[in-house]
Structure 1
Amino acid sequence: MQTVTSVDGTEITYREAGTGPPLVLVHGGGLGESLWTHLRPQLVTDTTVVAPYRRGHGPSGDTAAYSLGRESDDISAVVETIDGAATLFGHSFGGLCALEAARTTPVERLVLYEPALLVGNHRDDATLAAEMETLLEAGERRRAMALYLRKATGLERVDHLLTPEMLDHAEIAVRQNRAIERYRLDDTLDLSVPTLLLLSEDGPAHLRDGVRTLHERLPNSRLVELEGMGHQGIVTDPERVAATITAFVEK
């Protein structure tokens, strides 16, 4: 593993494997870099996969002060340490972090799989962070994370996802959701980098609406719907997701 120091002094750890053009993978909430267990083997033959642990995950550092801007700075620090122009891939909340990083740091391409972006009534009515906090204060950690996972994935049954590691990240999930609820997508985005937006057929409605709105506001984006797939397609069908990413990278 390697480390890079972010703007605020936080040490960010990342793994690097494979050969080919660099591809930085930015994970969402809960499982950290280990989320790529299924996807990484499909990518390392064609790309150099660089997978950071976001702050507060795994061996990466953290700070009491938190913001989406700090997450963006962390990704930028990783991208800037890589030799060659990188493609940036973000999933879920990692997609929102990657979007913000790409606005300030040059990347070759950007791929976003259902970034955690709330628009319209989804944003106006968002209360997940507060609901989770109430449950945590009542000692209901498992219920708080079950609520989070149902909202994040669109799945009704999430017991299989409630691992000890996932439960340990309840407070991180709260701060992420607070950042999501506060985020406002600009009416126009000055981001000309070629962008591939991945939309799953069975993903949560609020994420699907966010992706479509983002597609409307980006000047150079392509929208691909992954049929028969949900928000966790990187785990359930990694071969198809990897093939879609690789085809875009090789253009």
Structure 2
Amino acid sequence: MPTTTSADGIDVEYERRGEGQPLVLLHGGMAPRQYWEPVIPHFEEFAAVVPQRPGFGTCLDDHEETGPDEVLGREVASVRALVDDLGADDESDAPPVLLGHSFGALTAIETARALSADDQAAEIEAVVAYEPAVLPESFREHADLADRMAALLDDGDREGAMKLYVDQVIHAGEGDDLDAWLDEWPVWPDCVELAEEVIRMNYAVERYEVPERLDVAVPTLVLSGTDGPDFLRESARTVHDALPSSRFVEFDGVSHSGPSEAPARTADELHAFLGVR
């Protein structure tokens, strides 16, 4: 796979499929290539670019002391390096579009925010963010998912830690037959090995606060689903309200795993937003 290097010296590997305008697919807490497999066929007119998040599957020893700025800073630096690398590619004259899910959606927004602050917003065309991993203030004050997952992992129950994450985040704590659902989920059980990173990511999410204004100088499409956790639906609207130029769309009957669960609907909204036919 091609590799680029971020400003802080981290190598970023990525897979590229197809030709056309780059569509950078930023995953959340699950294995990247498996998560986006149902989505990629719906974007034939784009070059799908799937990066491997740097260090994914490793845990910071001081995760409880690691703040969101440090965690997101690493993620944003890697995406900016990838955008630079794609910009130097002469296969397409159009700048990349960032499509992120969950923590990947937060990363996409923060990347656009950093580029905007540096007067480099033109390096990307737009951001599409499905339920950015942000917690409402009232919920964040009592959030303990990372601690609960860490306790299970400390007891040697890696699978249980990831089942808790899926139950609370994907199914909003209402999964009646979680094991049967997981048997049909494309990224399970590969993502079980990523428990440490998902815990680290959740500590960052629990500490992140949405500013009153997200200074993002590119059009942004914020997506959500009616069947995911209420707090993530609320957060998606909070992010939308904080953006100076955004559109909000909610999918009826879709959970937090929206892009892979409803790839055709996701593609339709992105195409309409960008004016692609």
TM normalised by structure 2 equals 0.83
2:10 aligned partner: 10
Inter-partner Cα distance in structure 2 for 1:63 and 1:120:
25
| Number of aligned residue pairs | 248
Q: Does 1:101 find its partner at 2:111?
A: yes
Q: Does 1:239 find its partner at 2:259?
A: no
Q: CA deviation at 1:233?
A: 2.5
Q: Does 1:90 find its partner at 2:115?
A: no
SS at match of 1:111: strand
Structure 1 segments unaligned to the other structure (5+ residues): none
Matches within 5 A, 1:35-184: 35-43=35-43, 45-57=44-56, 67-83=71-87, 84-105=94-115, 106=121, 107-154=124-171, 156=175, 157-159=177-179, 160=182, 161=185, 163-184=188-209
User: Which segment drifts farther, 108-117 or 145-154?
Assistant: 145-154
User: Which segment drifts farther, 226-235 or 70-79?
Assistant: 226-235
Inter-partner Cα distance in structure 2 for 1:241 and 1:113:
9
Indicate conservation of the 8 Å contact 1:55/1:62, yes or no. Answer: no
Inter-partner Cα distance in structure 1 for 2:42 and 2:154:
41
Change (3 A) 1:13 1:158: farther
Which segments of structure 1 move beyond 6 Å, counting only runs of 4 or more?
61-66
Q: CA deviation at 1:99?
A: 1.2
TM normalised by structure 1 equals 0.91
| Highest RCO, 1 vs 2 (Cα 8 Å, sep ≥ 6) | 2
2:30 aligned partner: 30
Inter-partner Cα distance in structure 2 for 1:62 and 1:133:
11
Indicate conservation of the 8 Å contact 2:137/2:209, yes or no. Answer: no
SS at match of 2:114: coil
Inter-partner Cα distance in structure 2 for 1:184 and 1:169:
25
Matched to 1:171, the amino acid is: E
Structure 2 segments unaligned to the other structure (5+ residues): 63-69, 88-93, 116-120
Q: CA deviation at 1:153?
A: 0.7
SS at match of 2:211: coil
SS at match of 1:248: helix
RMSD: 2.1
1:228 aligned partner: 253
Indicate conservation of the 8 Å contact 1:203/1:230, yes or no. Answer: yes
User: Which segment drifts farther, 196-205 or 236-245?
Assistant: 236-245
Inter-partner Cα distance in structure 2 for 1:239 and 1:134:
38
Q: CA deviation at 1:33?
A: 2.5
Q: CA deviation at 1:220?
A: 0.4
Change (3 A) 1:190 1:163: closer
Aligned-pair identity in percent equals 40
Inter-partner Cα distance in structure 2 for 1:127 and 1:91:
21
SS at match of 1:82: helix
Q: CA deviation at 1:158?
A: 3.4
Q: CA deviation at 1:64?
A: 7.1
User: Which segment drifts farther, 159-168 or 170-179?
Assistant: 159-168
SS at match of 2:132: coil
Q: CA deviation at 1:223?
A: 0.3
Q: CA deviation at 1:246?
A: 1.9
Inter-partner Cα distance in structure 2 for 1:228 and 1:163:
22
Change (3 A) 1:63 1:182: closer
1:217 aligned partner: 242
2:90 aligned partner: none
Q: Does 1:201 find its partner at 2:221?
A: no
Indicate conservation of the 8 Å contact 1:10/1:62, yes or no. Answer: no
Indicate conservation of the 8 Å contact 1:10/1:63, yes or no. Answer: no
Q: CA deviation at 1:209?
A: 0.7
Inter-partner Cα distance in structure 2 for 1:142 and 1:42:
31
SS at match of 2:13: strand
